Amino acid sequence: QKEVEQNSGPLSVPEGAIASLNCTYSDRGSQSFFWYRQYSGKSPELIMFIYSNGDKEDGRFTAQLNKASQYVSLLIRDSQPSDSATYLCAVNRGADKIIFGKGTRLHILP
């Protein structure tokens, strides 16, 4: 079982709709959880991090964490074509060692 699992997609969402990205992790000791966005040919960019169970909102983005289910999700409201990218879920394994999933390709349809 991989440490961080994501559906590779592509996930196609109409412009203006809500995009929902999901991730599961295997290590119950994981404490910090991240969503990175990576445009094709570019390096990852941190867009959200969450430590506690529940929801965390930042603009159009909402991260959700359920430690009991070992599940992290990212919601993008009012999706824009510029949101088309690969979204990487990651967990922190101590002292800034980050374990990434394979990423989910998101395509926003104009």
Residues in contact with other proteins by CB under 8 A are 4, 8, 31-32, 42-46, 49, 51, 88, 90, 92, 94-103
Instruction: Report the residue number, 75 or 99, with the smaller CB distance to other proteins.
Output: 99
Q: Which is nearer to other proteins, 43 or 110 (CB)?
A: 43
Query: Which residues contact residue 60 at a Cβ distance below 8 angstroms, ignoring those fewer than 6 apart?
Result: 76, 77, 78
Q: Which two tokens stand for residue 63?
A: 């991260």
Please give the angle made by the CA atoms of 10, 12 and 19, to the nearest 5 degrees: 105
Q: Which is nearer to other proteins, 12 or 31 (CB)?
A: 31
Burial of 71 (0-12, 13-18, 19+ CB in 10 A): middle
Question: Between 6 and 62, whose beta carbon lies closer to other proteins?
Answer: 6
Rounded to a whole number of angstroms, the minimum distance from the CB of residue 83 to other proteins is: 19
- Least distance from C-beta 87 to other proteins, angstroms? 10
CB of 39 to other proteins, least distance (A): 12
* CB contact at 8 A, 25 and 17: no
